[in-house]
Amino acid sequence: MRPHLSLVVTGTPRSLSATSLDSLGATSRFIVDEKLTDILGLNSGNSRLRADAIVIDGASKNVWQDQFPIARFVYIARSIKKLSDSITMPNGVRWNAIPIILLVDNYEMEEQIASDYTLRSVLSAWSISRGFHYIYDAIARSVERFAEELIDQMGRVGWRFVNENGRIRRVHFQIPRRKRGFAPELDTKFYSHSADQIFTAPKHRQFALSVLTASKEYTNKSLELYESYIKERGTREAKFQELLEQNPNFVGATHLEMFPHPSILRNGKRRIPDLVIHPFSIGDDGLDAHVVELKTAEMELLRGKGDRKYISGKINAYVAQIQEYERLINDETYLAQILHIFGSKIRAKRLSLIGGVSRTIDRDILERERAQLKNGYGVDIISYDEHLDRQVRRYDAQ
């Protein structure tokens, strides 16, 4: 299994590396190269944008028109390294500290950069000729080395950590003692204590900010747990909810982009979607959100016999429930509540219902019925075993 990686990918609008890396287990957020440093500066401390590494896509054919493309790639990387130390992620990690990976077209360009000692502290370069499996593993190794140093630095200024099956979280902070009457230094080369939002964030956001890194062992343990929940009869919906909150990458999000159980008050009654995912993006796409409703693995998908099977009536009720959430989120009447919960206006654009098991169901009939619901109501129906199989294929190291 591969570890999950959160990446900021930059290049031209025609860059394809983000899609390739996401297919192997990453959660990538694309920012066009000419706007990257400005966006990072303007969104310093943004409550949703974080990354383990920055990937510069210099390998897309016929994308770069520069006479000396390597010079442009290096300029982008150096611009990132020159960002002010005050420009950080919400967890206090400095943008200018994380690994920068450059993707190039051929081995010659890779070797040219590797042989320049002045660039070794700025970026690492890999040729796409090696394949994205190799590149993903190379990025993961760079991220692992950075995380080890980050944890060491944060430990020296008072943070204590816990290892949860390969996932490292910070769980306690204690200010170091004064030395000779002087207050201890709480900032490090990679981390700004004063910019760290964990001290002021709501409880569920504190958890999101506490997660620093996760290994392939954590991915493997999470997928094994997911499978056990599906196989075990009577697994409560709350178990699946907790699993996805702990692994937001299984639904295409980072911890900071997931909002579990947001509560919207309507006519004196609270409406509470299971998950709302608000991915970081630039421009109008930055409004788009994904509403996910979870049910149990025992949820009935089809009813009837033989060729006369049809979608379960309960699913129609659940679809109506999700559509109500969509209307609430998109209705200007509830904008004040939306702003309070999510920090900005959002637009529910994608709707999903996850529940049931489809391994023993006639696939043709199920696809026909799901297509009708998707076309008629805009809701994707996904069974738990299908969802798990997608994640296993995605993170499988083969």
Find the CATH number of the domain harbouring 361: 3.40.1350.10
Tell whether 373 is covered by a domain.
yes
What is residue 202's three-state secondary structure? coil
Which pLDDT belongs to residue 306? 76
Which pLDDT belongs to residue 73? 84
Question: The domain containing residue 130 runs over which residues?
Answer: 5-156
Q: What is the CATH number of the domain that holds 120?
A: 3.40.50.2300
Tell whether 209 is covered by a domain.
no
Tell whether 70 is covered by a domain.
yes
Tell whether 165 is covered by a domain.
no
- Domain boundary, last residue among 133, 156, 179: 156
Which pLDDT belongs to residue 62? 46
| 116 and 241 both lie in a single domain | no
Which pLDDT belongs to residue 64? 47
What's CA 383's distance to the chain center, in Å? Answer: 21
* Domains contained in the chain, number: 2
Is residue 7 within 8 A of residue 54, CB to CB? The reply is yes
| 136 and 239 both lie in a single domain | no
Which pLDDT belongs to residue 275? 97
| 263 and 382 both lie in a single domain | yes
Query: Within 13 A of 321's CA, how many CA atoms are on the CB side?
Result: 17
Which pLDDT belongs to residue 182? 67
Tell whether 208 is covered by a domain.
no
Tell whether 197 is covered by a domain.
no
| 152 and 222 both lie in a single domain | no
| CA dist., res. 129 & res. 107, Å (int) | 7
Residue-wise pLDDT for 52-101, tens only, equals: 999 999 886 544 455 556 788 889 999 999 999 999 999 999 999 999 99
| 248 and 372 both lie in a single domain | yes
Which pLDDT belongs to residue 66? 53
| 389 and 248 both lie in a single domain | yes
Tell whether 142 is covered by a domain.
yes
The position carrying tokens 């559509």 is: 323
Longest dimension (CA), the chain: 82
Q: Which stretches of the chain score pLDDT less than 50? A: 62-64
Tokens of 249: 């990458």
- Domain boundary, last residue among 104, 130, 156: 156
Q: Where are the alpha helices (DSSP H) in the chain?
A: 17-23, 36-42, 69-81, 107-114, 132-156, 203-210, 216-231, 237-246, 313-330, 335-342, 363-377, 384-395
Which pLDDT belongs to residue 19? 92
Model confidence, pTM: 0.92
The position carrying tokens 């004064």 is: 178
- Domain boundary, last residue among 124, 156, 188: 156
Tell whether 16 is covered by a domain.
yes
| 317 and 234 both lie in a single domain | yes
Beta strand 310-311 with 258-260: parallel, antiparallel or unpaired? unpaired
Is residue 113 within 8 A of residue 125, CB to CB? The reply is yes
Residue-wise pLDDT for 183-240, tens only, equals: 678 999 999 999 999 999 888 889 999 999 999 999 999 999 999 999 999 999 999 9
| 9 and 122 both lie in a single domain | yes
| 146 and 226 both lie in a single domain | no
